[in-house]
Structure 1
Amino acid sequence: MAPTAAVIRPATPADLAAVTAINAHYVAETVITFEENPPSEADWQAKLADLTGRGLPFLVADLGGEVAGYAYAGPWRPKPAYRHTVEDTIYLAPAHVGRGLGDALLGELVRRSEAAGLRRMIAVIADAGDDRSVALHRRHGFTEVGRLTEVGFKLGRWVDTTLMERPLATAG
């Protein structure tokens, strides 16, 4: 499904109140993030500054001035040898799920990560009993490379994660 009049654009500090609210919903209500305390808007300000300072994309889906979702590419691991590999993160406002915004965000995130010269993108997907995120990633060229069993405990249950990866086009 094509996103309805969505503009995928770089996030700005003005978007972070909405990003904070979207994220807080998933932290409080789901196991798809292993966060147990929602980051504050100040935390998101710091994340935006860090990612953009590294040349990594942080995007929002803008529907007529409303932030309907966000996505970013963050460092996969802190050790220097991993600097060409990123992990994707995508969240949609609950009212905007199923409208194609995840496809639009992930597609643009991949394109901008490639343009930044990155080599590999990793997805770590919590098994919440719904395969939409796995299917989304498959549509964008990710393949499953592993499963970690009972690595998270949230909302009274053990949660597995699926690991997926995809190569990014590079000039060299």
Structure 2
Amino acid sequence: MMSLQPEIDALCEAANRLLRLGLDGTPIYTDSFRELNADVYRQSETLFRKTASSDIEEAALCKALLMGYSATIYNHGDKDKKIQLVLDCSWNVLDRLPASLLKCQLLVACYAEVPEEELAKEAHAIIDSWNGKELTLEESEVIERLQLLEED
């Protein structure tokens, strides 16, 4: 079975680009916004039909799908049902993951959909374990995302 990681990475990168569109002060053009939204939604729909080969890949897939569906404005009438299915899958895989960046990212992605304090608390516990070390870009981004969600 081939790894889904390249597709997962592509979706995460596109969803991040969509979520950050215009934050740097550059204008947002309608055509670019629509095109990126359509691309993220298409990638999400394609990955939704795929099956992961391990817990790590399943967690990464769930994280990417939650990010993708959350970032896009498109919905063909079944997006909420798909998000719920991804959340159900996430609950199952979270229990099998060790404390890690991926687990923290998945917790934060779930928290964005279901703002349950236990999710944020567990994410904070992982983040607290990073104290005293230089943070990677991904670690900094997940901390920033969690803070933004908690402020809302």
TM-score normalised to the size of structure 2?
0.35
Query: Structure 1 or 2: larger strand share?
Result: 1
Bigger helix share: 2
